[in-house]
Homo-oligomer: A and B are copies of this chain.
């Protein structure tokens, strides 16, 4: 029954963060919309950063599990599963990429770089050539852009073509 106050705070905060950016959203705005006062937030979260972190965490955990638990396998299936992963989290991804510098304390820049390297390793092995890394960047970055730009379309109108384009960028057979 996660409709307690803590969850409601997170829901409102996520909505405001996505709409207008993390930096542009104050605790005041969040508490106002909930009909409570600013200090009340501090009963549920130790700090503003703590609140932001709690919203980004599910995405981070999902991606890290994806990159860590997967073995080498069919590249096309990997692209499909990766697309579904970022599609599930596309709202938080919008929030993240639009405000990366505001989330600097989470080291997201560095960590994203690490995730991508792991996925490239699944595609091309531990020592990919520069050309392979470039192709993988077009493929993975392009799919991310699709999940963001076509966020309002149904998944099955976007995924097949996005995966097809990414596979072509990778020069998959």
B141 touches A141 (CB 8 A): yes
Question: In the assembled complex, how far is the CB of residue A75 from the closest CB belonging to chain B, in whole angstroms?
Answer: 14
A135 touches B102 (CB 8 A): no
Interface set of A (CB-CB < 8 Å, partner B) = 20-24, 97-102, 104, 109, 130-131, 133-135, 137-139, 141-146, 149-150, 153, 157-158, 161-162, 164-166, 168-171
A24 touches B101 (CB 8 A): yes
Residues of chain B lying within 8 A (CB to CB) of residue A133: 150
A141 touches B145 (CB 8 A): yes
Contact partner of A142 among B20, B23, B141, CB < 8 A? B141
Residues of chain B lying within 8 A (CB to CB) of residue A150: 130, 133-134, 137
A137 touches B131 (CB 8 A): no
Besides the contacts A21-B102, A24-B101, A134-B150, what 10 more A-B pairs have beta carbons closer than 8 Å? A21-B100, A24-B102, A24-B104, A97-B100, A98-B100, A134-B158, A138-B145, A141-B142, A165-B170, A168-B171
